Structure 1
C-alpha cells in the first residue's frame, strides 16, 4: 500500500492518485529536480451515472468504481471533499452529496483504507489562493502547475491531492510505516476522519 487517492465526488467524479514515491517527492518541481518522471501521478474524470439515474444506481456505480480504484492504485489514504449542504441544489443535491460520502466511508472501511474529508474552502485557499475560488480559478491554478485537467472535476481532485500531500509533508507525517493514530492526530483540524 502506498499513496493517496483524492476524490471530488459527484455524478461526474474527479479523481487524482499519487504513489507513495510521488507523495514523498512532492511537489512536481521536486519530482522533476530529483529525476522522477511524473508517472507516479494519475488523474481523470468519469461519469458515474446519468442525471436521471436513481440515487441507488449512482451509489452502486461509485462503490464499484472506488473498489476498483483502490485495487488499481493501492492507496493508504482516500481523501474526499467534505460534503456541503447545497442551498441552491436543495434536498436532492444534499442527499446525493452525503450519500456519496457515506459510500466512500463504507468502501474504504471494507478495504481497510483510511478515509478523510477536507474542507472545500481550505483546499481552494491552499491551491488557488482564495477559499472562494471558482471553477475557472481552479483550472488556471492546475495549468500554472503544468497540469492539463480535462474538466473542473479533475482539477478539483488534483487540488485536493496537492492540499493533502502538502499538509502531510508540513506535519512531517509521510512515513509509510504508520497510518492510524499519528495520522488521525495530524489531519485533525483541517480534515476529519470519516465515520469517526
Structure 2
C-alpha cells in the first residue's frame, strides 16, 4: 500500500494536491482571503480547519510545501509566513512529517527549467494528463509529482 502525500503551494489562494493510498490524485485551490469586518487571523483559522477536513478524508503520511525564499511584496511574505507557521504546527501536533522544497527544484522537475512561468507550469501539468484550474493548483501538482518521484511511491 502506498502513502498518502499532501503537496501545498501556500498562500491566500493555496494550491493543493493529494496522492491517495490507492494511487489516485485529487487537487484544487482553497481560498483564504480575509473577509470584510474580520481580523486577519481568521484566514489562518480557516486554513487549519481546512487541513483538518482534509485529514478526515484519509491518513496523511507526509506533507510537502513549496519553500518560497523571495516574495513579490511584504504582505505576501507575511501571509506565507503565517500559513507556514500554522502548517508546521499542525503537522507537529499530529506527528506528520513535513518538508519544504525550493521553487526552482519544483519548476525544473516539472518543465526542465528552474525559472518556468505560470503558463509553462500549467502546460506541464496538462501534459501529464491533469487539468489544473490555475497556477496554484499546477504548482501543487508539480510538487506532488516531485515528492512521489523522491519517495518512489507508485
TM over 0.5: yes
> Structure 1 residues 4 and 80 mapped into 2: Cα distance closer, same or farther (>3 Å)?
same
Once residues 166 and 159 of structure 1 are traced to their aligned partners in structure 2, the CA distance between those partners, rounded to angstroms, is: 11
Once residues 137 and 54 of structure 1 are traced to their aligned partners in structure 2, the CA distance between those partners, rounded to angstroms, is: 36
Q: For structure 1, which segment, 43-52 or 125-134, has the greater mean C-alpha deviation from structure 2 after superposition?
A: 43-52
Specify the alignment match of 2:26 in structure 1: 42
Specify the alignment match of 2:137 in structure 1: 154
Instruction: Work out whether residues 55 and 96 of structure 1, in 8 Å CA contact, stay in contact via their aligned partners in 2.
Output: no
Specify the alignment match of 1:4 in structure 2: 5
Secondary structure of residue in 1 paired with 2:41: helix
> Structure 1 residues 51 and 132 mapped into 2: Cα distance closer, same or farther (>3 Å)?
farther
The correspondence of residues 24-173 of structure 1 with structure 2, limited to 5 A, is: 40-50=24-34, 54-86=39-71, 88-90=72-74, 92-169=75-152
Structure with greater proportional helix content: 1
Secondary structure of residue in 2 paired with 1:117: strand
Higher-Rg member (1/2): 1
Instruction: Work out whether residues 79 and 115 of structure 1, in 8 Å CA contact, stay in contact via their aligned partners in 2.
Output: yes
TM-score by length of 2: 0.90
> Structure 1 residues 117 and 150 mapped into 2: Cα distance closer, same or farther (>3 Å)?
same
Once residues 99 and 43 of structure 1 are traced to their aligned partners in structure 2, the CA distance between those partners, rounded to angstroms, is: 22
TM-score by length of 1: 0.72
- Count of aligned pairs between the two proteins: 152
| Deviation (angstroms), 1:54 | 4.4
Q: For structure 1, which segment, 136-145 or 50-59, has the greater mean C-alpha deviation from structure 2 after superposition?
A: 50-59
Secondary structure of residue in 2 paired with 1:55: coil
Once residues 166 and 13 of structure 1 are traced to their aligned partners in structure 2, the CA distance between those partners, rounded to angstroms, is: 22
